[in-house]
Amino acid sequence: MSPLLSLILIPLVTAAFCMAGSAPRRISLFGAGANLLLTLYLLASYNLEIGGYQFVGGRLLAPFYGLAFSLGADGLSMVMLLLTTLVTLAAVWVTPPINRYAGMFYACLLLISAGAIGAFVSTDLFFFYAFHELALVPTFLLIGIWGSGERQRIAWKVTIYLATGSFVLLLGLIGIWLAVPAGLRTLDMRILQQLGVAGILSPGPAVYLLLLAGFGSLIALFPLHSWAPEAYASAPAPAAMLHAGVLKKFGLYGLLRLAVPIFPEEIQQFAGLLLILLLGNIIYVGFVTIAQKRLDLMLGYSSVMHMGYAFLGLVALNQIGLAGMSLMIVAHGLTIAALFALCGEIGSRWGTLEFAKLGGLAAGAPKLGLLFGFAAMASIGLPGFLSFPSEVLIFFGAFAQGVTGGFNIYQTSVAFALWGVVISAIYMLRAYRRIFWGGRGVAAVDGVGDVSCAVRWAVILLLAALLVTGFRPALLLDYINPVFDYFAP
């Protein structure tokens, strides 16, 4: 059986132990660490010369439907695995002492991780979908049981929202399946991609729009975004890290896997629509982000905003933009996880996340200030962090669809998206200035101490990953570039 199965089984088994055992934190740290090491080992043993899907294995379950439990990973999946295991380890690491049902809490985190990993390594359409659904259940529990504020209402809202989105997505997936010529009918995504690239499989615009709406609501594409900020503000920090950092990326991954090879014409046909929606993410949601008065909501909105850049890479529909989108998935996942971890730390230490009550924290907590500064800079795409090369590729990829001597819709959109870079600097630096610089706020009492050891090292892990890949984006691009070779001119 494929070694990828162990990547799914390790968190599942660990989760089972957590629910039964007495030392859930130690067990989950061990499981998450083992998964990261295994992923690093697989990344090293993935043969870049051959490329394509490797570590393949599976079992046919229902021949009539072409349903199989089959696993395999190409360069894109490998990169997604790296993101998932890194964020999982960080999320488990930063988990503060849990008063109620600690075992359940850790189990839920690990189940989300297992679901995400399963979705990223499944080559069968059914399991690709099912694993993601599996991960939604623990998300619901994490918000509903351990959340803050109106946790139950928000948990229901998010779950219904995402379940509805998933249902629309399911209709789209069925649409794809039905469009496969009868003799070739299969659920194998690798074959579906090949059929799409070859032009044999073209389910038409309606199916594409279903797919876009389905994935779009999971990714928080404007105007399907209003679930996200509330959910991240209410969710406990590790849950927000895993959801915003990893699970939300399932939608982008799905678009890269299915929409790009199967619906290239439709993506171009509806480029205008998507460009307007993604500018809604970047500009409109950007302004909403500026107006936020609480750090957790601001981070939630900022994460919605950044999804606009990912869509810009998609709509560019060339190797540059798609590579940028893939890098953006990783960069944003790591960054937002680091920010939510630090946000949770601030909330638990000073008891509030309102800018008006905080201020001058860098004086008493210089390490926290330094880490938050690094994470904020990563978030606004400072060179040196992975976010920068990903944005560069996205902008150049989308601009490549422009014309010399004129300014078409793609170029105009890139210009607006570039303005988004200014907007994100505005809200991030303002937040940093209000929380860490200036005079002391009413809640910024002394004697609270600096960042805890666990959060510190978990965030350093995430930031180090961003810096290493930012200095050498080839470390990831070597895996990603061949995936979109079918676009080679």
Partner 1 sequence: MEPHFHPWIILFAPLVASAVILFLLPRRGVAAGIVAIGAAALACGLSWRLFLAGVTPVVAPLPWLDVPGLFSVPITLILDRLARVMLVLVTTISTVVFVYSGGYMRGDEGVPRYYAALSLFLFSMLGIVMAGNFVMMYIFWELVGVSSYILIGHYFRKDAAADAGKQAFLVNRVGDFGFMLGILMFWLATGSVAFSGIEQNISAVTLHPGYLTAAALLVFCGTLGKSAQMPLHVWLPNSMEGPTPVSSLLHAATMVAAGVYMLARIFPVLLAAPEAVRDVIMWIGAATCFAAGLMATQQDDIKRILAYSTISQLGYMVVAIAVAPAGDVAVFHLFTHAFFKCLLFLCAGSVIIALHHEQDIWKMGGLITRMPLTALCLVAGTLALVGMPGFSGYYSKDLIVAYAHGDNTAVFWITVGAALLTSFYMFRLFFVVFLGSPRSEAAGHARQSPAIMTLPLLLLAVPSIAAGYPFVARHFFDIPHHETPHIVHYALLGALVCGFLLASALYLRGPGRDPLRIPLFANRLYIDDFYAWLVTRVQGGLAIVSSWFDRWIIDGLVVTGAARTVWLAGYVLRLLQLGNLQAYAFFFGAGVLAVLCFLVFR
Residue ranges of the alpha helices (H) in 351-408?
361-364, 366-379, 387-399
For position 477 contacting partner 1 by CB under 8 A, the verdict is: yes
Copy the structure tokens of residue 124.
């069968």
Count the Cβ atoms, other than its own, within 10 Å of residue 29. Answer: 18
Question: What is the rounded CA–CA span in Å between residue 2 and residue 67?
Answer: 18
418 binds partner 1 (CB under 8 A): yes
Rounded distance, CA 330 to CA 93, Å? 19
Helix (H, G, I), strand (E, B) or coil at 124: strand
Using CB under 8 A as the criterion, what x/- string covers residues 242-281 for binding partner 1? ----------------------------------------
Cβ contact 307:388 at 8 Å: no
The reply to whether 448 sits near partner 1 by the rule CB under 8 A is no
Q: Is 23 in the site for partner 1 (CB under 8 A)?
A: no
CB distance 180 to 201 below 8 Å: yes
3 state SS of 72 = strand
Nearest distance, CB of residue 402 and partner 1, angstroms: 6
Pick the closer one to partner 1 by CB: 130 or 467. 467
Which amino acid is located at 380 in the chain? I
- Cα–Cα distances (Å) from 270 to 78, 88, 205, 275, 346, in that order, read 30, 36, 9, 9, 43
Site string for partner 1, 149-188 (x = CB under 8 A): --------x--xx---------------------------
Per-residue x/- track, 358-397, partner 1 (CB under 8 A): --x-xx-------------x----xxx---xx--xx-xxx
Sole binder of partner 1 in the list 12, 256, 315, 323 (CB under 8 A): 323
What's the closest the beta carbon of residue 434 comes to partner 1, in angstroms? 9
Contact pattern from residue 200 through residue 229 relative to partner 1, giving x for each residue in contact according to CB under 8 A and a dash for the rest:
-----------------------x-xxx--
Nearer to partner 1, 3 or 402 (CB): 402
Instruction: From residue 17, give the alpha-carbon distance in Å to each of 30, 95, 108, 203, 387.
Output: 12, 17, 12, 44, 37
Query: How far is residue 398 from each of residues 275, 415, 476, measured CA to CA in Å?
Result: 10, 10, 20
Q: How far is CA 44 from the centre of its chain?
A: 23
Taking the least distance from each CB to partner 1, the nearer of 178 and 273 is: 273
Decide if residue 409 touches partner 1 (CB under 8 A).
no
**Piece in contact with partner 1 (CB under 8 A), picked from 77-85, 180-188, 255-263, 428-436:** 428-436
What is the binding site for partner 1 (CB under 8 A)?
157, 160-161, 223, 225-227, 284-285, 287-288, 290-292, 318-320, 323, 360, 362-363, 377, 382-384, 388-389, 392-393, 395-397, 399-400, 402-406, 411, 414-415, 418-419, 421-422, 425-426, 429-430, 433, 436-439, 472-474, 477, 481, 488-489
